Amino acid sequence: MLYRERTLETPHGTVKTPVLFPVRNIGKRSSDNTPEYVDSIPDLNTGMVNARAIRQRDPQWERIQQGASIRDEMEVPDETVLFADSGGFDFADDAVDTTPERTLETQRAIGADIFGTVDLPIARENRSAENQRRIEESTRLALTASDLHDGEELLLASVHGYDPETVRNTLRHLERNGDFDGYAVGSMVPIRTDYEKVTKLILAARQATDKHLHVYGLGGIVYQPLLLYLGVDSFDSTAFIRSAGNRNYLIPGFGGEELQNVEELDHLPCSCPVCSSHDYQTIRADRDLLTQHNLWSLVTELRRFRFMAAADEEIESYLDLRFQGNAVTQRAYQIAKQQVRRLT
């Protein structure tokens, strides 16, 4: 097993890893869909923001330039640790409209603790030459950011690849030629249903470096245990928001269930603050409550894995049970287990 626990020291506080960075939609039109949680979930003092979206929202960016705090805008404590990505997913179809200099300036102005470098995600529907161009351009932009960055914030190079060898070689090139605190593997969301491929790509990245490893966009309730087993240090997720929008109720250890498929109940099967203080109909009718419950579910999934590790339980036996209900994820886990055993 490659699971590990470490500590990150950032300008706004200490973070124990592995850790979830819930995506905060501030700067986007859907910003009100992200519930407040920092004060109510004691072990979740983190958040992921989109630097590009914040800068492009003129009134907000003007306030920040005049001295406003992004944490005040988000109504979170000063010690909240923020990871600001470049907004690279917005460049999936469009040309890059920023530079490493501009992105670093934005990330620093909003007081982020962790910076993700400017990147161009790849996609299956692209021609191989276009994906290769995007990989090389993302690498070049990361190295430029490395040359420019001189602050105490952590700098993670964004890495893309369509096969394990590309991921491994790209990361090793960045390691030799840049100065990074870690790496963030991207372009995972479009291939998230291909568990075997995702597993092999993440293992390639983990094998290439001992530094902090983040995975963009795969922090949902199904992927979390697999990421932890593969030695991923952090991950971000919008799953708690998107699932609530579809009235999908996340259940730690199982996955999700659409509430329209659930017959009449008095209460839902969870003891989080939301479910223990509201009845079934109230939660079903209130998207914000469902979003809050779903975030609690993601945290509970992480806590459960941490507990099993702290109790010195056999993690592989736990994951055998965890994945037995889904043939696809079970197969991905079996592949991961075979490869991890060869590495350890």
Mean pLDDT over 257-282 rounds to: 90
Find the mean pLDDT for residues 52-81. 90
29 CB-near residues (< 8 Å, 6+ apart): none
At residue 110, what are phi and psi to the nearest 5 degrees? -85, 0
Q: Which are the contacts of 176, defined by CB distance < 8 A and separation ≥ 6?
A: none
Kindly report the backbone phi and psi dihedral angles of residue 7, in degrees, each rounded to the nearest multiple of 5, phi listed first. -125, 130
Six token digits for residue 95: 């040309």
Rounded to whole angstroms, the Cα distance separating 144 from 214 reads 20
Residue 160's beta-bridge partner residues?
A: none
Enter the DSSP assignment of 317.
H
Model confidence at 344, pLDDT cuts 50, 70, 90, reads low
Residue 32, pLDDT above cutoff 80? no
Find out if CATH 3.10.580.10 is the number for domain 6-237.
Answer: no
State pLDDT tens for residues 297-326: 999 999 999 999 999 888 888 888 888 877
Whole-number pLDDT of residue 91: 61
Which of 152, 163, 154 shows the shortest CA–CA distance to 184? Answer: 154
Q: Which residue has the tokens 């010690």?
A: 79
4-15 pLDDT tens trace: 999 999 999 999
| pLDDT of 30 over the 60 cut | no
Query: 301: which DSSP letter?
Result: H
Q: What is the pLDDT of residue 313?
A: 83
For 126-151, the pLDDT digits (tens) are 889 999 999 999 999 999 999 999 99
Model pTM?
0.93
Residue-wise burial string across 35-67, b where 16 or more C-beta atoms lie within 10 A, e elsewhere: bebbeebeebbbbbbbbbbbbbbeebbeebeee
Amino acid symbol at 7: T
Spatial contact of 25 and 240, defined as CB atoms under 8 Å apart: no
- The span from the CA of 321 to the CA of 268, in Å, is 23
Average pLDDT of the chain, as a whole number: 90
